Amino acid sequence: MSRAFQYSFLISVCSLFFARCTSEKEKQPVTAGPVYTLVFMDKTQSVNVNKAFVAQKYQQILTDLVEQNIRQKGDKLEVYFIHENTQKAKALSLTCRTEIDDVSHMNATDREAAETTADLTLQRERMVFLKQLIAKLGIQNVGASQRQTDIWASLPVINKAAESGAEVKVYYLSDMIESMKGANRRDFHNTPPQDNAQAETWAKEDAKQMQQYALSAAEVKIALPFEPTSSTKENNPTVTTYWTTLLQELGAGSVEEL
């Protein structure tokens, strides 16, 4: 990913953030409790974030999730790399420090000043988060770990986040092609589900072996790196069916494809 492209993108995003900050109509209510955001970035040989379509799609998703989920002090953001050893591949952990003060007791002038200061501080912190996210997105994995894809290993990570009591939001920036060798594993590169019925059957069978990973109504979004014109051979819809079924069987509140 070129430095020029990253710089141009960050400049445009920065302008958008601060433009929104000046508009009272754009403000959204702060959530009652903290939001715990998990981003799983695929760092295997089958996903190329240097492609213009993929880079633009993923960077826009990262921009949106920072603005939507980083709202107040305590909101957390973590990044894990998907590859052969996903569960131990934490790449980033950030926690929002911007406090939103109670302004209900202030007069109109003081309230506006306090809100403006808090908004500017929050926007600056969001920009720091976004810059680090985009830097992680651009990292290339040239090691042997890129040869296998362990997405199952993301499930205990989500489960642990859910145990914190926070509202958990999960983003997969991946082709979702589970590809692990060994007994009782799935390798969708070599043996993908043949149809939706088989995908659902496999998912339910696998879910029975993973009941300890309760996802506690986590909100899951899957962003595939495929253009709308991609063939079903490249973008196999039965794989998405498998993951949607598996995640729902484990208690995800919603599963959406971006």
Q: What is the pLDDT of residues 156-211, one digit of tens each?
A: 999 999 999 999 999 999 999 999 998 899 999 999 999 999 999 999 999 999 99
For strand 90-95 and strand 76-82, is the pairing parallel, antiparallel, or unpaired?
A: antiparallel
User: What pLDDT score was predicted for residue 167?
Assistant: 97
Is the pLDDT at 230 greater than 70? The verdict is yes
* Widest pairwise Cα distance in the chain: 67
d(CA 93, CA 166): 15
User: What pLDDT score was predicted for residue 100?
Assistant: 73
d(CA 22, CA 12): 16
H/E element holding 38?
A: strand 35-42
243-248 own/partner pairs: CB under 8 Å, 24+ apart: 243/151, 243/176, 243/203, 244/203, 245/199, 245/200, 245/203, 245/204, 245/207, 246/203, 246/204, 246/206, 246/207, 246/210, 247/215, 247/220
For strand 76-82 and strand 219-223, is the pairing parallel, antiparallel, or unpaired?
A: unpaired
User: Per the confidence metrics, is the pTM higher than 0.85?
Assistant: yes
State the average pLDDT for the chain.
88
d(CA 183, CA 180): 9
d(CA 209, CA 105): 54
User: What pLDDT score was predicted for residue 99?
Assistant: 84
CB atoms within 10 A of CB 111: 14
User: What pLDDT score was predicted for residue 103?
Assistant: 66
CB 40 within 8 A of CB 161: no
User: What pLDDT score was predicted for residue 26?
Assistant: 46
d(CA 258, CA 235): 14
Is the pLDDT at 23 greater than 60? The verdict is no
Q: What is the pLDDT of residues 31-68, one digit of tens each?
A: 578 999 999 999 999 999 999 999 999 999 999 999 99
Is the pLDDT at 24 greater than 50? The verdict is no
Residue recorded with tokens 């926690």: 95
Token output for 53: 């379509």
Token output for 55: 């880079």
